[in-house]
Structure 1
Amino acid sequence: MKRRPTRYTLLLARSGGGSRALVLPGWTLLLLLGLLFLWTGINVYLWHRGREVRVLEGRLQALSQEARELSLALEAERAKNRVLLKEAERTREELAEIQRAIEELRRRAGLSPVSARPVRHAPGGQGGGAGPGSLEAWAEVRAGLLDLERQLAEVVPALERTLELEASRPRGLPLRAHGGITSGFGVRRNPFGPGYEFHDGLDFAAPHGTPVYATGRGVVAQAGWMGPYGLAVLLDHAEGYQTLYGHLSRLAVRPGERVERGQVLGYVGSTGRSTGPHLHYSVYRRGVAVDPRPYLSPSWASR
C-alpha cells in the first residue's frame, strides 16, 4: 500500500468572522523550524560578539585613561626635572662665586691657587623626568661642594694665622685726631741745641691728655720711664715688629699685658726730652727703626 505524504493544515481565523485553512506539506514546517533555529543561533552569536566588543571598548577606555594619567605624570616629572636642573645651575653659579672667594682667601693666606673641579651642567636632562640629567647635575654639584669643603679645611687654619698676623702688625694711626706731624723720620735739626740728630719716629701734635691707642695686637714689653722718651710704652708684635709710644703723661697698661689694636695705652704728655705736649711714635722691625709713614695706612698689612 502506497504511503501518503504528510501534510499539515494551518487554520487562519480572522477576528469578527471568517477563517481560512492553509495546507502545508511536512517539509515546509521543518524548513520553518530550521530557519527559526538558524535565526536564533545568529542572534545568540551576534549577542556574544557584541558583548566581547563592549568588553574590549571598556578595556580600551581604561587603557586610554591610564595613558592620559601617565602622560600627565610624565609631563609633571619633566617639569620637576627642569626645575631641578635650574636649581643645579643656580647652585653651580653660587659655587663658582664661593670658589673665587676661596681663591682670594688662599691668596691672603699665602697659599698657592688651586682650581676646584668645575661643576658642569648635564646636557641630557631636558628630555625625560628626574632622570640622568638632573641626577648627574646634582652629582656634579655635590662633587663641587666636597671639593670646596676640602679647600676650606686647608684654607681656614692658614687664614686664621694670616688674620692673627694682620691683627698684630702695626697699622693705622695711634691717635684718633691730631694737629699734624711736627717732626718726621730721619735726620733733623736738633731742637735742643746746635747740629743735627737722627729722629727714629714721628711726632704728632696733640693736646695734653689725648688718648693714645695701640696700632696692633701685641704684648707690653715695657711700660714706664724710658729715658729721653719719658713715660712710654713699648709693644712687641708678630714677625719681629715693635712700636713705641713716648712722652706720655699717664700710662694705662702694665708690662706683660696683652693688648688689642685700638686699646688705650696711655695719654699724651710732655715727659722726657720734649718741648711740649705731643706723641712720639716709632716702628721697629727686628730691632731696627723704620719709617712709620707706610704703616699709617689702614690697608698696608693686607697687601
Structure 2
Amino acid sequence: MIDVTAASQHAFPNGRATVNLSILFSELPLLERPAAAAAAGFTAAELWWPFGEEHTPAEAELDALRKAFTDAGVQLTGLNFLDDLTKGARGTVSVPAEKERFRENIAVSVSLAESLGTKALNALYGNRVEGVDPAEQDELALENLVLAARAAHGIGAILLIEALNKPESPDYPLVTAAAAVEIVDKVNAATGLGNAKFLADFYHLAKNGEDFAAVIDAYADRFGHVQIADNPGRNEPGTGDLDFEDLFARLAAAGYTGRVGLEYRPSAGVTADSFEWLPRELRAAN
C-alpha cells in the first residue's frame, strides 16, 4: 500500500483528484454515479463519451446528465468526444467511415462541456483500418483534430490527445508518449492556438514499458491531464508494482499542477472500497 499521505505533503495534488465515472462506480446506473462520487468525498469527475453509439443524443438525455452532475455538486472536469468504446473501437478521429459522425459530435460535446464548465475534451485517435492507407487516416485525423481544437478553444477548453497501450489496443497507432506528443505539436502548429495537450495516462505508459522519469522530463510542459491506475491489473494504486509516491513527486517537481484522473477498476469490484489509499481530505477540490 502506498503512503500517499506522506507523499502528499510535498507532491500529491491535494484536491485535484477527478474520478472517471465511466470505469468507477460502474456498478451503478450512470445518472447515479455523480452522487456516489460526492458521497465518497469527491467534487470532480470525468467521463468517456457517455452515450454509447449515439453521437447526437436527445436533449432529454443531455439534460438528465447535466442534472445528475449539478444536483450532486460534482464538477465534470473532462469529457471524451465520440469514442465508440462500446463497439470496441478506440476513437473515431482517424476513421474515414466515421468522419461525419465525429464532426457532428464536436458541437454536441462542446455544448455539453460548456454547460458544465468542463475545460478538457479528449479525442481518441482511432484504430488503423484494414485496407486504408495510414497516411490517409493521419491526414483526416489532423483535419478533425484541428476542428475539435478550435471548437474547444471557443469555450476556453483544451484538446487532449492520448497514447494507449499496444497489448490492449494493438491497432491504435499512438502507443508511445512521443507519438502522441507529435500529434499534439502538429495540431498546435496548424491552429496556432496552443490548446492541444498530451493526456499522460501512466497506466498505458507503464503497459508500454515507458520510463516515467524520461516521459516527465521530456514532455511535462505538454501535459494537459494525467490519469493513473496501477499495473498490472489496472486497479487502484497499491495493488500493483507502480511507485506512485515517486510519480507524484516527479510530477510536482516538474511543475504539473493539473488534475489527476483516477481511471482504474476497483480490485474488489466495489468502487467505494477502492479509495482507502487516498485520504478523504485529499479527495475534494479546494
TM-score, normalized by length of structure 1?
0.19
Q: Larger RCO: Structure 1 or Structure 2 (Cα < 8 Å, ≥ 6 residues apart)?
A: 2
TM-score, normalized by length of structure 2?
0.20
Task: Specify the structure having the higher radius of gyration (Cα).
Answer: 1
Larger % of strand: which? 1
